[in-house]
Amino acid sequence: MVSSSKMSVAVRLLEPEGYIVHAPPTQTITIYSTDSPGAIPRAKAYVQARLNAIVQANPWLTGRVVTDFIGTNLSLQYDPTANTLPLEESSMPKLSTAMDYQELTNLFKPLEVRQGTDLINKDEPPFRVHWITITPTRCALFMTISHGISDGYTYYRYRLYGMLSATTPIQTLDPNRFYDFEQVSNVNSAWGNDSAALMSRFPLICNILGTLLFSPKPNYALRTISKDWIAREKAKAVAHLPHVAFVSTNDVLTSWFFRECNSVVGFMTINYRGRMKGLASHLAGNYTSWLGYQPEDYASPALMRESLTSNVLRRVALATFRGCSRALHQ
């Protein structure tokens, strides 16, 4: 067990985070290029200074994931006075966006934060940032965080990753958990999200496990997204439902993906911050659930956006969720 006199604060994690900590980390690779070799050292110094400022506002990022001596009460233990996090450095002369996806993931595997038992009660950081030199005029930033302490909202949306930019103010995210989240979320599902129960049904769990154990190994590919296509799809979606003021890029991509897969049921992760009493936007952690969509529901990105902006988090096209039995067998 990791123990330190300086790590005097321990935040007990949510019960689901005990499972989520075994999931792959959330991470990004951002590649930069410049015409001036002298700009690279300045950029690296800027990132280190910015990273220190983020840690000073959020010292929990420097903590460790631990349990008690009998292996229960999973917690994030940290030093509340922490004020720096070293920007780690690596050299990858062959790094390119044209690399095979599997080759790319293998290249970065040693730099990832650990997961599950390789992280818990080990002197392993749940948050790391690497500065990667490619050439004198090209570099990359690799940022990785344990899913057990952070969901996508904490990482991406104007939060940790965004704070590296000078255009985003440094914010303090509260690591203390809202322990009533599951209870309140279940109440929400009872009167709103009628598809959430499917995710915990035994037949679906068996189906997922069977897919993982017996299906052929999936092929992975790296794709880029056209900004022009996104803009056109957004315009089409808003024209389809004029009362929906806007659609997000995520709405566009999710609707497109479900349509391409011809999904019987498609589930999208929903951030509950600001949509549930007691869940403010500054809370760090994992506060998401699932919202299910059938073909009539995901036919347009605007329909997906409308399902999130109504008073009830619920599909808007169908009165009843009729695809459960079909979904379990496909």
Q: What is the pLDDT of residue 292?
A: 85
Q: What is the pLDDT of residue 3?
A: 45
d(CA 106, CA 173): 32
| % of the chain residues with pLDDT over 90 | 59
- pLDDT digit string, tens, across residues 170-198: 999 999 999 998 887 766 655 556 666 66
Q: What is the pLDDT of residue 327?
A: 46
CB atoms within 10 A of CB 170: 13
Residue 186: C-alpha distances to residues 103, 200, 211, 292, 320 (Å)? 41, 12, 27, 15, 18
The candidate with the shortest Cα–Cα distance to 270, out of 189, 206, 326, is: 189
Q: What is the pLDDT of residue 330?
A: 46
Q: What is the pLDDT of residue 317?
A: 73
Q: What is the pLDDT of residue 328?
A: 45
- pLDDT digit string, tens, across residues 104-160: 999 999 999 999 999 999 999 999 999 999 999 999 999 999 999 999 999 986 589
The candidate with the shortest Cα–Cα distance to 290, out of 186, 155, 135, is: 186
Q: What is the pLDDT of residue 78?
A: 98
Q: What is the pLDDT of residue 196?
A: 63
Q: What is the pLDDT of residue 229?
A: 97
Residue pLDDT tens, the chain, 330 long:
444 558 889 999 999 999 999 999 999 999 999 999 889 999 999 999 999 999 999 999 999 999 998 889 999 999 999 999 999 999 999 999 889 888 999 999 999 999 999 999 999 999 999 999 999 999 999 999 999 999 999 998 658 999 999 999 999 999 999 999 888 776 665 555 666 666 666 776 777 777 777 888 777 777 889 999 999 999 999 998 888 889 999 999 999 999 999 988 888 888 888 888 888 889 999 998 888 888 999 999 999 998 888 656 777 776 677 655 554 444
Indicate the residue type of 87. L
313 φ/ψ sector (left φ>0, alpha ψ -120 to 50, else beta)? beta
Block residue for tokens 């300045």: 42
DSSP-derived secondary structure for 94-117: T--TTS-HHHHHHHHGGGSPP-GG
Q: Phi/psi of residue 329, each to 5°?
A: -115, 15
Q: What is the pLDDT of residue 195?
A: 67
What domains appear along the chain, each with residue ranges and CATH number?
A: 9-164 (3.30.559.10), 181-327 (no CATH)
d(CA 170, CA 317): 40
